[in-house]
Amino acid sequence: MTSDMAHGEAQLPEVQHKLPAIGPRQYVMIGVILTIITAIELWVSYSGLDAIIIPVLLVLSAVKFAVVVAFFMHLRFDSKMLTRLFVFGLALASAILVALTALFWNDSTISQTPVQEAAAGSGGGEAAAGGAAAVQAEVAVALGEFFVTVAAETSAGGVQFNVANEGAIPHNLRVARSDLAPDALPVAAGIVDEAQVDVVASTVDVAAGASDSATATLEAGAYVLFCNVPGHYQLGMHAPLTVR
Amino acid sequence: MAAAAHGPTHHSSTGIDNRKLLMWIFLASECLFFGSLISTYLIFKGQSLVGPFPDEILDIPVTSASTFVLLMSSLSMVLAVYGAEHGRPRMMKLWLLVTVLLGLIFLGFQVYEFRTFGHEGLNLTTNQFGASFFVLTGFHGTHVGVGVLILASLLLASFRRSGLGPEAGFHVEVAGLYWHFVDIVWIVIFTVLYLIPQ
């Protein structure tokens, strides 16, 4: 059995151990070159050449990457199959990078910076109300873990909701026209199913300690205010509001 | 001399030692792993709701120093491989020792950076930047730690009477592939996280 295997293995090509034709002196030279490239990278990053800084840094980084792979990892002197294998892995990794960034770049469901958020929040509120409404009443809304506090009543017409997040994590506000009890809105996958309720005003996620506002033109009737960050509605973040 | 350093002859269908082929396949798969983590960092870039933000906290001069240390460890590693492959055990041991020390210095820099960020209020759960930064650099640091263990065990084994055996050159070369890979990943991380403006 063992001799059969040994015989079988002998049929296969012999493993090549060709040593690279490069010695310590060349390695040190390559080390010096890599150091110089790193110094250039640093200089570029502080240079203020805003227009070309990213492509220049990416090219320099790619050159360093290639030099280490080719000379320190001996890929330049080794079997071409290993080069193909590694390049295949790199190509797949690049494809992942392109696919993921294309899918999620500037995705509004990923939290934004406070500045972007305030701008997007007021715009979102107006859009939900069907255009800029003349504000006739202001309603203060406090959000926190896990509550929504608001006055019981307000008057019909243009209403501005001034939302303050008093909690320690981000929250948002939805105002929905509904005759259902505040805790009886339709829920799917941990959030209120906004396709099944008539949302008339909303904010984006408001950071802890931050505030935002949304406006809507409200008709008389029953409304429910709630937070639609996943799970928060079911944890008690809802309150009724009657418009007269 | 080369054949002596590499020990007994092997046969394989590819003409490449299967163990070395396996290491390259592993490294190719690691590209996907780090590619995904770097993608996540880029997607979360500029999306943090609360600070500390990257431009307030990243210390480029300090990280440049640690980058230089890791780059030089690649040089010392390749010199160790040269010593092992050319039947020069003293050269191999010296440069293996230097590589281990440089790896430890890099890890020291990382511990310092993580602790500083912690004191300034950035941790894994602070914001998107903290989450993606610590996962990416933490996994890289773990790889450096594993590399240090591999190289340190090779160094210890080389002090046995039989040294690293007839395949010393091969063992050190394959360990070196892993070490250089950790270095090239850092080349990308250093550019993407630290040098490109926030």
| ipTM of the prediction | 0.90
pLDDT the model gives residue A110:
58
- Report yes or no: A208 at the B interface, CB cutoff 8 Å: yes
Please state, for a pLDDT cut of 70, what percent of chain B lies above it.
Answer: 95
Single out the residue of A139, A182, A186 nearest to residue A164, CA to CA. Answer: A139
Instruction: Please give the Cα distance from B149 to B151 (Å, whole number).
Output: 6
pLDDT the model gives residue A117:
45
CB B34: neighbour CB atoms within 10 A? 21
Confidence of residue A107 (pLDDT cuts 50, 70, 90): low
Q: Which residues of A touch B194 (CB under 8 A)?
A: 45
DSSP letters, chain B, are -HHHHH-S--B-TTSS-HHHHHHHHHHHHHHHHHHHHHHHHHHHTT--SSS--HHHH--HHHHHHHHHHHHHHHHHHHHHHHHHHTT-HHHHHHHHHHHHHHHHHHHHHHHHHHHHHHHTT--TTT-HHHHHHHHHHHHHHHHHHHHHHHHHHHHHHTTSTTTT-TTHHHHHHHHHHHHHHHHHHHHHHIIIIIIS--
Instruction: Please give the Cα distance from B183 to B72 (Å, whole number).
Output: 10
* Mean pLDDT, rounded, of chain B: 90
Instruction: Please give the Cα distance from A87 to A70 (Å, whole number).
Output: 12
Q: Which residue has the higher pLDDT, B160 or A117?
A: B160
- Report yes or no: B184 at the A interface, CB cutoff 8 Å: yes
pLDDT the model gives residue B126:
87
Residue A90 identity (one-letter amino acid): L
Decide: helix, strand or coil at residue A33: helix
E-assigned strands of A96-230? Answer: 137-144, 147-150, 153-154, 157-165, 174-177, 187-188, 191-192, 198-202, 211-218, 221-226
- Do A68 and B11 lie within an 8 Å CB cutoff? no
Render pLDDT for A136-179 as a digit per residue (tens, 0 to 9).
888 999 999 999 999 988 988 889 999 999 988 889 999 999 99
Instruction: Please give the Cα distance from A61 to A66 (Å, whole number).
Output: 9
Confidence of residue B26 (pLDDT cuts 50, 70, 90): very high
pLDDT the model gives residue B10:
72
Decide: helix, strand or coil at residue A222: strand
Question: B124, B145 in Cβ contact below 8 A?
Answer: no
* Token pair of A34 as six digits: 């890599």
- Angle made by CA atoms B158, B160, B161, in degrees to the nearest 5: 120
Render pLDDT for B28-57 as a digit per residue (tens, 0 to 9).
999 999 999 999 999 888 777 787 888 889
Confidence of residue A111 (pLDDT cuts 50, 70, 90): low
Confidence of residue A90 (pLDDT cuts 50, 70, 90): very high
| Integer CA distances (angstroms), A21 to A16, A26, A69, A76, in order | 15, 10, 16, 10
Q: Kindly identify which residue of chain B lies nearest to residue A45, measuring between CA atoms.
A: B195
pLDDT the model gives residue A126:
40
- Do B11 and A12 lie within an 8 Å CB cutoff? yes
Q: Which residues of B touch A24 (CB under 8 A)?
A: 79, 82
Instruction: Please give the Cα distance from A198 to A174 (Å, whole number).
Output: 10
Single out the residue of B61, B50, B79, B92 nearest to residue B190, CA to CA. Answer: B61
Q: Which residues of A touch B16 (CB under 8 A)?
A: 15-16, 78-79, 81-82
- Do B28 and A89 lie within an 8 Å CB cutoff? yes
* Token pair of B130 as six digits: 């903290």
pLDDT the model gives residue A109:
59
Alpha helix ranges (H) inside chain A? 2-11, 24-47, 53-67, 80-104, 114-128
Nearest-neighbour CA in chain B from A68: distance (Å): 7
Question: B117, B123 in Cβ contact below 8 A?
Answer: yes
- The mean per-residue pLDDT over the stretch B172-192 comes to 96
Q: Which residue has the higher pLDDT, B163 or B114?
A: B114
Nearest-neighbour CA in chain A from B124: distance (Å): 15
| Integer CA distances (angstroms), A107 to A112, A206, A240, B124, B135, in order | 9, 16, 31, 22, 21
pLDDT the model gives residue A8:
55
